[in-house]
Amino acid sequence: MVMLTVTKVMIFVMLLFSVILHEVAHGYTALRLGDPTARDAGRLTLNPIKHIDPFGTVVLPLLLHLAHSPILIGWAKPVPVNPYLLREPNKAMMLVAASGPLTNITLAVLFALGLRNLPASTVPLFVDLLVFSCYINIILALFNLLPVPPLDGSKLLAGLLPVRLRESYLRLGRYGIFIVLPFVYLALKYGVLTTIVEGIFYFLVRA
């Protein structure tokens, strides 16, 4: 029971750490491209208090846990970005959007490399920590790359659309949660998401 509790705490801590780095990457990229909004709002920090989103950081992971979901997802409060302060706003917004998933992909690769180079005497709990951390970051990258507003994937796609179509597309963001959650539920129910995540995980660990 104690080990199970420790494992759950580890998963939540790594999820929180990963979503915070995801958001900080957005803010830092925006700053490098001319927009100091996130910095001025105090969001370029690893302090979790600054990033907690009541639903995405607390409620959704808790509901998934209570539902015995095999996959845990969540998000932090989005960092503020003012596209009017960015140099070449359209291209810059695509770079800002891409920086979050790229951060999670980088973390997943680093954790996978750690797993590949662990000595045989490594404590099992530490192995589990690396495995969970790798899985979490693969899931976060895939989840955020979905082309559903307001997720990062939608901003990448929007950057390729004509201006009038782009604005209409991004306005769908108000309904995004009602599209994403059923999609995730169905992907979990039929094992699609699990299969994709496990495939990527074993590729990273064994490649």
pLDDT digits (tens, 9 = 90+) for 130-171: 999 999 999 999 999 999 999 999 999 999 999 889 989 989
List the chain domain ranges. 2-206
Q: Please tell me whether the peptide bond between 150 and the residue prior to it is cis, using omega within 30 degrees of 0.
A: yes
Return the active site residues.
Answer: 23
Quickly tell me which residue has 């999820």 as its tokens: 15
Q: Which two tokens stand for residue 75?
A: 């998000």
The predicted structure's pLDDT at residue 103: 98
Amino acid at site 119: P
Give residue 202's pLDDT band: very low, low, confident or very high (50, 70, 90).
very high
The predicted structure's pLDDT at residue 115: 95
- Round to whole Å and give the CA distance between 35 and 54: 26
